[in-house]
Chains A and B, each alone.
Chain A
Amino acid sequence: MTTSTSARSGAHLVLETLEREGVDVVFGYPGGAIMPLYDALYGHNVRHVLVRHEAAAAFAAGGYARSSGRVGVCLATSGPGATNLITGILDAMMDSVPLVAITGQVKSTLLGTDAFQEADVAALTHTITKRNIVVRDVAQIIPALRSAFAIARGPRPGPVLVDIPSDILRALHAPENVEPEPERPRATAPASDPDAIARAIAAIAKAKKPVVIAGGGLRWADAVDEYRAFVKTLGVPHTATLHGLGCADPEDPTFLGMLGMHGWKRANLAVADADLVVALGMRFDDRVTGNPARFATNAQVIHADVDASEFGKIRNPEIALHADLKATLIALNAALADHDALAGHAGWAVETQERGAPPARDRACGGALSATDVLDALFAEIAPGTIVATDVGQHQMWAAQRVRPSHPRDFMSSGGLGSMGFGFPAAIGAQFAHPGRPVVAIVGDGGFQMSFAELATLRRYGVPVKVLLLDNRNLGMVRQWQQIFFNERYSATSLDDNPDFCMIARAYEIETNTVSQQSDLRAAIRAFLDSEVSTLLHCACFPMENVWPMIPSGTSVEESMEAVPA
């Protein structure tokens, strides 16, 4: 790390600041306006990973952040490079992922002139970042980046974009303070309110049918241990949103599985019958609540979140706990330890567990290989601690129904935005954050075709990400909705002209295998997981398989479907 008082270029100051913030790897793609930064990267300690499309840079940085809890960093040039980051930036905003995007910009003197590759990326990302900063003076590079990292970290994490004109990257500056500064911490989260905690404990003690819902906020608050202690002390049934999966101990029998549109029926029934919902770091997303007016209608709600703007956005809580979730759970656990009048919930917990079997294989598959067969085999064989990233669509929901991660950072998915093309680059980002751990990307044939240029990234860096491709030759989730809600008018969802995916992967010197028969499945999955190099397992699956159960959008668990209506 440079601590010299001599003048350095803005680009070198960027890299020095990244180092000070603990950044070890960045994901990006070069171009004209950001060339000074790429020149500074040449031979630098900060490792640069070249992806093959800027969207993958943002998703890979997101995967790095989701799997590690650290800030992910992506780089792109001005204009098209910057606009290609936008989906990944919004994805980070929707899922509260700490991300810093650094974009090159045209020279300061050309700003606003429609110069070659000029885009007003600050305006374009104004509503999808926590903050964006256009650096107009080389002396502002260090403070701009340091505040970007602090804001990205939280209290509620999210993306920040820093846009730097190329002349500012070239300009020389000698910072006065050359001593390495400590990392700026997350902005202070509010402390828990003892009165609100006491009211929450009183409500919990009184409840006969409480249910706890774990959300993604627990992951970012690093509050998983506190969460497990909380639900263990209470002995109550608990469920999770997509991003809350992994908060529960995988062996905990009181965990009911995922909640929501494609969640476990028993989880949705438990919430429907609950007289108290304790919602921790979740935001009552429409894929969780269906019709909010019919969600948990018998229940009081205790809502704990670090972001006060979540309270009452969808559901007005009777008790709002506005504080850092870890502090909230520590306070709740301490109060519970002193409480001797908790109602017994063992009967309620057992009752909820017995209401509904795990999500089942679609009967329509008959003897054909189903995607759920593949995922059941995968999760039966997968080693604890494996990081799993999914893309978006049917396979995402099938995986979420079945995965039992040991930590929420071990399972990642584009939840809020639902960005196809996320899963594969996110898995690559996670592998760079955890070089020694197994990483599996579960993708569909639609989303993989939005991202398979990153096979080149696997080959270049030798990262052993394994790709499980569930190929049903359809944009399956849209096709499912067309089948059920649009009179089987299959508009633009057939992918029956899919390429030979294995041939494509082999062109990048990636190992491949194909499975199309149930009888070959277990062996294929074992070989896939045992491989020490990047591998593609192509699974030729039944094309008309649906995700069950399904609570149609805007309805409630009473309308839950488990087959196509006759």
Chain B
Amino acid sequence: MTIEMHDPRLLARIINVAHRFGCGYTKLESTYIGGTYVAHLDLEGPADALRRLDLHIAKLLHDDKESFA
């Protein structure tokens, strides 16, 4: 998945949550582009956990966006 965020610390949080949900990652890259961080993550894990993780990441990104509104 590709995500954009203002606060790069979110990546650490996403990795934490992924591990808590029984998932992991095989690739993690991040680039700073014009005030935002663009990250590419390849997450792996049980399908149900990945679905929950997607929803959780969406929530974190929503609050990141709200912080910089």
Binds A, one of B23-31, B36-44, B51-59: B51-59
Q: Does A312 contact B (CB under 8 A)?
A: yes
Q: Could you tell me how many residues of chain B have their Cβ less than 8 Å away from some Cβ of chain A? A: 19
Q: Does A133 contact B (CB under 8 A)?
A: yes
The answer to whether A127 and B55 touch across the interface, beta carbons within 8 angstroms, is no
Rounded to whole Å, the gap between the CB of A66 and the closest CB of chain B is 21
Rounded to whole Å, the gap between the CB of B5 and the closest CB of chain A is 12
Bound Cα distance A160, B33 (Å): 27
Rounded to whole Å, the gap between the CB of B23 and the closest CB of chain A is 14
Q: Scan B12-26; emit 1 where CB is below 8 A from any A CB, else 0.
A: 110011000000000
Q: Does A37 contact B (CB under 8 A)?
A: no
The answer to whether A312 and B63 touch across the interface, beta carbons within 8 angstroms, is no
Most buried by A among B13, B16, B63: B63
Rounded to whole Å, the gap between the CB of B32 and the closest CB of chain A is 17
Bound Cα distance A144, B68 (Å): 8
Q: Could you tell me how many residues of chain A have their Cβ less than 8 Å away from some Cβ of chain B? A: 17
The answer to whether B9 and A126 touch across the interface, beta carbons within 8 angstroms, is yes
Q: Does A294 contact B (CB under 8 A)?
A: no
Choice from A133, A147, A313 contacting B52 with Cβ under 8 Å: A313
The answer to whether B69 and A147 touch across the interface, beta carbons within 8 angstroms, is yes
Residues A309-324 near B (CB distance < 8 A): 309, 311-313
Q: List 5 A-B contacts (CB under 8 A).
A: A147-B69, A308-B59, A309-B52, A309-B58, A313-B52
Most buried by B among A133, A144, A151, A307: A151
Bound Cα distance A131, B55 (Å): 16
Bound Cα distance A381, B14 (Å): 50
Q: Which 4 A-B pairs have the closest CB atoms?
A: A309-B55, A147-B67, A131-B63, A309-B56
Q: Does B4 contact A (CB under 8 A)?
A: no
The answer to whether B66 and A147 touch across the interface, beta carbons within 8 angstroms, is yes
Q: Does A150 contact B (CB under 8 A)?
A: yes
Report B-chain residues with C-beta under 8 Å of the C-beta of A307: 59
Residue of B nearest to A308 (CB): B55
Rounded to whole Å, the gap between the CB of A14 and the closest CB of chain B is 17
Rounded to whole Å, the gap between the CB of B42 and the closest CB of chain A is 21
Q: Does A187 contact B (CB under 8 A)?
A: yes
Report B-chain residues with C-beta under 8 Å of the C-beta of A126: 9, 12-13, 16
Beyond the given pairs A308-B59, A312-B48, 8 more chain A to chain B contacts, judged by CB atoms under 8 angstroms and listed by A's residue number, are: A127-B16, A131-B63, A147-B68, A151-B67, A309-B55, A309-B59, A311-B55, A312-B52
Q: Scan A399-440; emit 1 where CB is below 8 A from any B CB, else 0.
A: 000000000000000000000000000000000000000000
Rounded to whole Å, the gap between the CB of A525 and the closest CB of chain B is 45
Choice from A151, A308, A309, A311 contacting B63 with Cβ under 8 Å: A151
Q: Does A130 contact B (CB under 8 A)?
A: yes
Q: Scan A72-105; emit 1 where CB is below 8 A from any B CB, else 0.
A: 0000000000000000000000000000000000
Q: Scan A296-340; emit 1 where CB is below 8 A from any B CB, else 0.
A: 000000000001110111000000000000000000000000000
Bound Cα distance A12, B63 (Å): 26
Q: Scan A113-133; emit 1 where CB is below 8 A from any B CB, else 0.
A: 000000000100011001101
Rounded to whole Å, the gap between the CB of A418 and the closest CB of chain B is 19
The answer to whether B63 and A130 touch across the interface, beta carbons within 8 angstroms, is yes
Choice from B12, B51, B55, B67 contacting A133 with Cβ under 8 Å: B67
Bound Cα distance A424, B56 (Å): 33
Bound Cα distance A313, B59 (Å): 14
Bound Cα distance A126, B15 (Å): 12
Report A-chain residues with C-beta under 8 Å of the C-beta of B67: 131, 133, 144, 147, 151
The answer to whether B51 and A150 touch across the interface, beta carbons within 8 angstroms, is no
